Amino acid sequence: MIRDASFRPFLQLHSTRVRQAEPALTEQPLVTLQARLRRNELRAHDLVEAHIAQIQAVNPALNAVVVDRFAAARDEAKAADERLQSVRDPSTLPPLLGIPCTVKEFFAVAGQPQTGGMVAYRDRRPSQDSTVVERLRNAGAIIVGLTNVPEGGMWMETWNKLYGRTQNPWNVDHTSGGSSGGEGAIVGAGGAVFGIGSDIGGSVRIPAAFCGTVGHKPSGGLIPLTGHFPENIPGTNYLCAGPLCRRVGDVMPILRVLSGPDGRDPDCRLSASSLGDPQKVDLAKVRVLPVPEPRGVRVWPVMQAGIQAAAAALGRRGAQVLPPNLPDLGEALSDLRIAFLLWSDALTSDAPMTYDQILSDGAGVALGREFWRLLRGQSSYIFPSLMVIFGDRVSRRFMGGQSGLRYRDRLRRLHDRLDALLGEDGVLIYPTYSRPAPRHYRPLLTPHHAACTALFNALGYPSTVVPLGLSAQGLPLSVQVIARHGHDHLTLGVAQALEDEFGGWLLPSSLAAPRRI
């Protein structure tokens, strides 16, 4: 394994920590809890209570869960226990029955706030569940709370005027990422078995990486976004719903519940039956293309060491590891920088509403006045939101709305080129961000570093974030595993091998519950 003095694999941390024989309920994976519930070794009531207690313990420091459903969750757990204890054939039960989870506040939950973190929508309460929430409920999952978001979602600091700012569970002086930063923080802190976020440029993967969880952005068009706010860009699959969870093996059961058209989202076309089986991925047939430092982004040495360590581990397990300077890969990734620009331009030119219209319920933001009000502590917006609006307007003025069919045709050609390079069995091992979780406000200085994740939204490729270890500063490190569209099983199969090698998610030691159940 290639080593770096500032890189510590989770496998080493697992072996050095003193752990009891059975971890707490707030540390066990979804698939383990599923099995225990069905064998009547565990009650849904106890499982839900354990996670409510964990949320109550950690949330004052993290501010991750901003709307709780504790009373309703307890009632739903009671009903789940009655069903679990009365059934004769456990195989007939809904797949997620009794499992507590959280949901990003962007998804409509009937009767609950759906503000998008924006003052203009503070009174918004949808009367109908989003498709994602409806499917979770039908599968028996118990939503214990809704999690924090940035204003309108177009920023990687989870912070807004309504709910305040979310902190990283490994170090509260650092960001949890965004826009699913509330999910990253509470799942990372053991407060939910899994959470559902959404990702238009890294909004599932960056929080997963910063908070040390598994995160998966599925292939574009796999999960319907009906009832998500803000809306997707029509005719694109840039925006995706995806899970954050404790273990790689937890992802596919969630995807199978959420996937497939709902008849209302016209851009959701993939069926659940299109999902393959990660357990059938043969590493001996996998080609690994490591990318320690994408062009145009300065990646910290500790992150590069993680990419190299992951590739070396896969090589030891039989995969074919190709050289990082492979000429065809370098040329394709050079083109991918263009893909990132196309993604950025589509957000400014093709979206139904501009970012400032979204923030202001269609009225538009008087930018100069709001900067002045911000200086006086009177603005309804935070500073990063105003800076994003400013960048949006500059982009529109100088790029002149040159997207549309011409840009989409170029993106299609780039897509075909990388498809040919990856084939049916190739994966990229790619940094999720340029560095571990930065301190609050620091991402303002390097907004283009989101290119590490955003360009794969433009291509519609699936990507799995898997934890590898900690930096010398005690912050999580991870990599993205990326494959062609429709090959979610491949990214998950490779990510599973990395989890087996490095040990996977750990509850931050300062948050670990003293009581083991």
104 labelled catalytic: yes
Instruction: Calculate the alpha carbon distances from 354 to 93, 265, 384, 397, 412 in Å.
Output: 44, 21, 16, 13, 25
Question: Residue 185 contacts by C-beta under 8 Å, 6 or more apart in sequence?
Answer: 62, 64, 147, 148, 158, 166, 167, 168, 169, 176, 207, 211
- Both tokens assigned to 46: 């106890």
Q: Is the dihedral of CA 497, 501, 507, 508 positive or negative?
A: negative
Q: Are 508 and 188 in contact (CB under 8 A)?
A: yes
Q: How many residues comprise the chain?
A: 517
Residues ≥6 apart with Cβ < 8 Å to 144:
48, 51, 52, 55, 65, 68, 69, 70, 73, 100, 101, 102, 192
For residue 123, what is the enclosing H or E element? none
Residue 466, number of CB atoms within 10 A of its CB: 32
Listed in sequence order, the DSSP H helices in 89-244 are: 131-138, 181-188, 205-211
Spatial contact of 117 and 95, defined as CB atoms under 8 Å apart:
no
Q: Which residues of 35-46 are buried (b: 16+ CB within 10 A; e: fewer)?
A: ebbbeeebbbee
* Nearest C-alpha neighbor of 293 from the set 260, 316, 261, 325: 325
Q: Which of 438, 444, 478 is nearest to 173 (CA)?
A: 438
Residue 282 neighbours by CB distance under 10 Å: 10
State yes or no: is 334 an active-site residue: no
Catalytic residue among 176, 180, 203, 434: 203
Of 209, 240, 54, nearest in space to 145 by CA: 54
**Cβ–Cβ < 8 Å for 176, 182:** yes
Give the ranges where 379-487 is alpha helix by DSSP (H).
383-399, 405-422, 451-459
**Pairwise CA distance, residues 47 & 69, whole Å:** 15
Is 179 a catalytic site residue?
A: yes
- In three-state secondary structure terms, 450 is helix
- Rounded to an integer, what distance in angstroms lies between the CA atom of residue 324 and that of residue 10? 24
Name residue 29's beta-bridge partners.
none
Residues 179, 360, 385, 478: which is the catalytic one? 179
Where do we find the tokens 């407060």?
191
Q: What are the catalytic residues?
A: 104, 179, 203
